[in-house]
Amino acid sequence: MYRDNDRYRTFSRRAIFMFGSKFLLMSGLIGRMYYLQVIEGDRYKTLADENRISLKLLAPPRGRIVDRFGRPLAVNQQNYRILLVPENVPDLQITFTALSSIVPISEGEKKRIKREIKRRRRFLPIVIRENLTWPQVARIEANSSELPGLVIDIGESRFYPDGEASAAVVGYVSGVGEKEFTGDPLLELPGFRIGKAGMEKVHDLALRGKSGTSQVEVNAVGREIRELERAEGRSGNEAWLTIDKELQNFVSRQLGEESASAVVMDVHTGEVLSLVSTPSFDPNAFNRGLSRAEWKKLISNPRSPLNNKAIAGLYAPGSTFKMIVALAALEKGVVSPRRKFFCNGEMELGNATFHCWKKNGHGAMDMVSAIAQSCDVYFYEIARKTGIDRIASMARRLGMGQILGAGLPGEQRGLIPTRAWKRQAKGTSWQQGETVLAGIGQGFILTTPLQLVVMISRLVNGGRAVQPSLTRQIISQSDHASQIRVSSEFEKIGIHPTHLDVMARAMAAVTNSPTGTAYKARIRDGNQAMGGKTGTVQVRRISKAERETGVLKNEDLEWHERDHAVFVGFAPVHTPRYAVSVVVEHGGSGSSSAAPIARDILLEVQRRDPTRNIGNSQALRMPKIQSEREEG
C-alpha cells in the first residue's frame, strides 16, 4: 500500500511538471505570435510590401532655353522609340531582318543589343532606336505581327529648332559618361541626357528639374505586374538668354560657310545679342547619337566646326589694336592728337625694316587720319615711344588678356605680352622691335572676338567697364511673370573723355570719310551710320624677295596662307548703342571681307529696334583726311 502511494505521488509530480512545461511553451508561443502579429505587425507588413513593390524614378521634363523674347532655342519634343523584350523574341536574327526593312540597323547596333541582352534579365526592355519618325512608328505598328517582342514607347527628347545657328551658344545634351556620375540617381536612368556644351552645360542642374516616382508591383523575380501609384516630377527651370533668336539666324546666314565668328553686344548693358561661330554643327545630332562617320567628319574638318571661335578662337587683332596704342600714347603724353609723323612706307630700326601696308607711304599723318587710313608707320613710331608695358596696361583696361565671364565654358584668356611675361615665358628680354610689331596688333598679342567687341564697347560707351553676359534670368515654371533686370551700372576705366572723343571721331572717319579704309562698306543712311576699324592679320612672313618682286594677293594664295580679316564697329555713330566684331579666318582684307558683314549686321540690329529714337546725320563729324585707298 505504501509503495502504491509512492508511485502515485511520483506520477502526479511528473504529470504536473509535464503539463507546466507544455503550458509555458504554449504561453511563449502565443506570446510570440501576439508580438509578431499585433505589436510588430505594421513593421512586417511594410517589409512584405517592400518585397513586392518597386520604386522607380521618373525623369522630369528638361527646362526650356529661350531667347530674350521667350522664343524657343531648346525645347522637348515627343520621342518615339522602339524597345525589344528579349523573352518575347523567338528568333533575334529574324526580328532584326524584319525590322531592318523599316528602320535600318547597323552591325554595331546589333552587337550592342546582343551585349545588353546578355547582361540584363530577359523580361527587361532594351532600347533599339530613339527619335523614330511617325511613318516609321506607323509601319512598325502595322507589321506588329511580324515583329514579336518589339513595342513602341513614347518619351521626350531634346530638340534645337535653330540647329547649327544656335549651337555656339546653346550647346547640346548627350548621354552620361562614366566619369560624370556624381551620385545623382537621375544620372543612372537609361537614356538620361545632360548638358555637354554651351548653356545646356552651364545651367544643367537648373534645367534638370526634380524627378518623379512610380510605385509598381513586382513578382518574386522582379517582373513588373502593375503600377500602383505615380507622382510626376517637376519640370526644370527655364533659362532666358540675352540672345535675339532672329538676329542670331541672320548673323549665321551672313557668315555662311566661312571659317568665321561674329559677336553683337549692347554697349551699355553688356547683353550679347548674337554670338555665332561658323561652320557649326547640328546639336540635334549629338542628342540622337553621332555615328562614327559623322564624328570623324567633324573632327577632321580643317575649319574646326566644334571650336567656338567667338570665345576660344585666338587671333592677332591687327589694326583693330591701334586705338589701344593711340590711347596709351595719349595717356603717357607721347603725342597729341594733332602731332604728325611722316610715313614714307617704311621705318628703319637697327638692322630691321618695318613696312607700311601702303608701299609708297601715306605722307604726313596725325592720329585721326592714321587710324582712318590705318597707317602702320605712324603706330610703329608712337608704340616705340610709349613702351609695351603701358600699351599692355591700356589693353587690359579695355578687356584684353582676361576671362570676361560671358557665361560660356571654354572661353580663352588670350595674351597681352609685357616685359615681365617674356622673361618668364621665353627666358629672354623684350626687344624694341617686338614693341613696334605690337603697335599694329601683331607679334605675341592674341585676342578673341568676344574681347574685341568688349573693347569697342568700352571705347564708345563713355569708358565704362561693361562686361558681356548671355543669361538674363533663370525662371521656375511658376514664375513666368518675373521681372527681368539687367544691370547697366559699370565703373569707369579711367580714360580721359577727350581721348575717347578722338577715338570716336577716328573710327567714324574709317567708315564715313572717302579716305577711310572701310568707306566702301559704309552705311549710307546717316541716321544709322556706323564707325569702326578694319584689321588685316598676316599669318605668314613676307620675304624681302617677295616684296621686291611683288607681294602675292590673298586670292592667289592657298586658303590657309591668306590673311585673317577683322572688323570692329559700332552704331549709330552719334549715339552708340550696338557693337560688333567680325573675324573671317583667311578672309583676306578686313575692309573687303569683314567690314561688309559687320555693316549688314549693324543695319539689321538697328532695324530690329524700331522704338529707338535715332538722331540725325548732322551729328557726324568727319575729319579731313588726304589720301584714299583701301587697307591691304
- Angle (deg, nearest 10), helices 322-332 and 449-460: 50
Host H or E run for residue 419: helix 419-425
Residue among 211, 319, 457, 591 flagged as catalytic: 319
Nearest to 362 by CA among 621, 546, 550, 632: 632
DSSP annotation of 484 reads P
Radius of gyration of the chain (CA): 36
Q: Residue 561 corresponds to which cell in the numbers above? A: 596662307
**Which residues, listed in sequence order, are joined to residue 584 by a DSSP beta bridge?**
260, 565
- Give the CA distances from residue 414 to residues 312, 317, 445, in Å, rounded to whole numbers and listed in that order: 9, 11, 8
Q: Residue 90 corresponds to which cell in the numbers above? A: 523567338
d(CA 455, CA 459): 6
d(CA 264, CA 582): 9
The reply to whether 304 belongs to the active site is no
Sequence-ordered list of residues with C-beta below 8 angstroms from that of 6, at least 6 positions apart, any chain: none
d(CA 174, CA 453): 31
Nearest to 276 by CA among 503, 604, 611: 604
**Which residues, listed in sequence order, are joined to residue 458 by a DSSP beta bridge?**
none
* Contact yes or no for 327/295 (Cβ under 8 A): no
d(CA 285, CA 291): 9
What φ, ψ does residue 549 adopt, rounded to 5°? -90, -15
CA angle 274, 313, 159 (to 5 degrees): 50
DSSP string, 333-393: TS--TT--EEESSEEEETTEEEE-SSTT--EEE-HHHHHHHT-HHHHHHHHHHH-HHHHHH
The length of the chain, given as a count of residues: 632
CA angle 327, 333, 335 (to 5 degrees): 75
Q: What's the N-to-C CA distance of the chain in angstroms?
A: 144
- Give the CA distances from residue 574 to residues 282, 456, 613, in Å, rounded to whole numbers and listed in that order: 40, 15, 12
Task: State the catalytic residues.
Answer: 319
